[in-house]
Structure 1
Amino acid sequence: MQTTINSVTADSAGKRIKVVYTNAKELPLAAVPSAKAFYKETKRGGSLDSKKFSTKKGKHTLYVSTKGALHMVNLEITGVRGVKTLSYTRLVKPGTFTNTRTVSGAEAVAGAISVHVPGAVLTFVPQTRIIRFAGAALLGWTVASEVKSALTGSGGKCPKLSKGQVIRSSVTWSQRGESVSTARTFQVWHSAKDRNAGKAAACTVKSTFSYR
């Protein structure tokens, strides 16, 4: 094999993917591989960035920008002689992200809230106990419209949305191998007074989803 891929890693701080590879010998221009980064699970709008490999013999490092991607990207390497397209999924922004808000009168009337956290726009309907991804096209990848949720809380029910309730959302992104997972949790308190006093949430809804 003329080119060997040594490693493909995400550089969260630099908003880029680092590719380390080795050319066994100098390559002709017509046989130079390339790497392209796409939004996870879709190529809508083209690639985020594209870079050509070096023609020179030896070990090299190449950086592909992931600027514009919220959390996950697919990296495709093409042109490696004797190998089909190589595809990698990388998490470019791991960690836990939280958002706490007070329900407004308009949201109480609508019966649902939309919460913006890094990497997700979530719609939560407490009475149905469903967490939905909104704006999947905007995020750039295909996700399930809803996922199986597990409910805990007093009486096994979430209260109807009402003005003044406090809702805390938390999204955790992690990666194992080529699989990226996200765990989401919503907690509902009847009021800011209850939450500030350290009372248990009226209900907690949790869900998980894996992207492969």
Structure 2
Amino acid sequence: MSQLIQNQNLSELCLSQTDALNYLLIDGVKMEPVLKWVYQHIENPEWYPLYKNTRYQDVIDLSPCLVKVPPDSDIANQFDSKLGSEGEAIWLQSSNNIETLGPHLSRLLWITTEDGRYLHYRFYDPASLSRLAPALTPEESAKLYNGVESIIWFNAQQRIWQKLAMPHSDIPLTHSGATLTPSVGIMFKSKWMDATLASP
């Protein structure tokens, strides 16, 4: 089942406790230019801009960027001291490689509400995650974040680190390489919208 864990200390949430791959999902609007930071801090980086092959391709420099965290790097310390604590990035764990996970996460950039609205969704925003995660059942979190084992972020309002651990999902991830132009988007339940938009 999914589990929302929180702790004052990031180290208690075990960033690398499993055999999963570790990723940063960096907010391209909050940290501009993203790729400058990536190439300054990671040798031969593996990265995937979520706007790639989407309707936002023209502003790819502002794209949220998925970056594979190399083993034995100091990225976890930077996540603790700045990237996470200042809301510039979240930490993901997944058994999927970046070329599979990146396009799959791009699907979350658009949602369709139950009342028919079609919206761009900054699913990687820590403030949004802090409000949405407690409203999700284990089944909902597994379906919404299929392909991800856990998400870690800093809740700035409560001044605490949070980790959402997802139950295993048997739904396979597919990557066709085609341009992502969804006509419907992820169906977002009304209770999720209410939680996301709730006042802090």
Instruction: Verify same fold: TM over 0.5.
Output: no
* Bigger fraction of residues in helix: 2
- Please tell me the TM-score bracket, short chain as reference: under 0.3
Structure number with larger C-alpha Rg: 1
TM-score between both structures, scaled by the size of structure 2: 0.24
* Bigger fraction of residues in strand: 1
Highest RCO, 1 vs 2 (Cα 8 Å, sep ≥ 6): 2
